[in-house]
Amino acid sequence: MTQRQVYPQILVKAEGLAIGHGETVLARNLSLSVGGGSGLLLRGPNGAGKSTLLLTLAGLLPALAGRVALEGSDAEDGPALHHCGHKNAVRPRLSVIETLAFWAALNGTTGLVPQAALERVGLGRMARLDAGYLSAGQQRRLVLARLLVSRRPVWLLDEPSAALDAQGHALLAALVDEHLAAGGLAIIATHDQTGFENLSTLTLDRAA
């Protein structure tokens, strides 16, 4: 795991951002700037808008005001970010390795080969298993493998440690460390700080 492919200089920047769904504004006047090699933890109570902020940064939801910019990424190369939401996108009836190979084909086979990625996240022996039989924690590990099979500099992770066991937590922290060391950046919404003590934090408060 010593690939030191350094990502191009990249910067996720948001200015005067207001987020929400339609009429419901969850937070306004958010500004953030995260550069390559650094990470940001999003914290805040349930409903504060952590997931919505990640969706907005990923461009999956429109910003209600302000703007989001991904500086330093070449639009020709396709999307530069991974967004991992609450939903694992794991479908029963496809095997674990098929699911991962599908994601790799979809996002570009620029990283590890699927089997190696599965070994890395501790699912190496489950490759042939129907992905529908995976436990919630194992599905979460499979989602982490998705980050490894296609190299993209920006990781937007929504509760990545939900349902993960202690080893899973350590794995997640190690993966994020490696990613940052390679010049990538990560924005992580979480209630669980273990392993991320050295990342800066942005706290969202529930809008009054």
Q: Is 139 helix (H, G, I), strand (E, B) or coil?
A: helix
List of residues 6+ apart from 97 with CB closer than 8 A: 114, 115, 118, 127, 128
Tally of CA atoms within 13 A in the half-sphere of 7 that contains its CB: 31
For other proteins, the closer CB: 150 or 161 = 150
Distance of CA 96 to the CA centre of its chain: 19
Q: For the window 135-154, what string marks contact with other proteins as x by the rule CB under 8 A?
A: ---------------x----
By rule CB under 8 A, what string of x and - marks binding of each residue 5-44 to other proteins? ----------------xx----------------------
Q: Which stretch binds other proteins (CB under 8 A): 56-64, 65-73, 113-121, 160-168?
A: 56-64
Looking at residues 147 to 186 of the shown chain, list those that interact with other proteins (rule: CB under 8 A).
150
Q: Which residues ranging from 79 to 138 are in contact with other proteins (CB under 8 A)?
A: 79, 81-83, 85-91, 93-94, 98, 101-103, 105-109
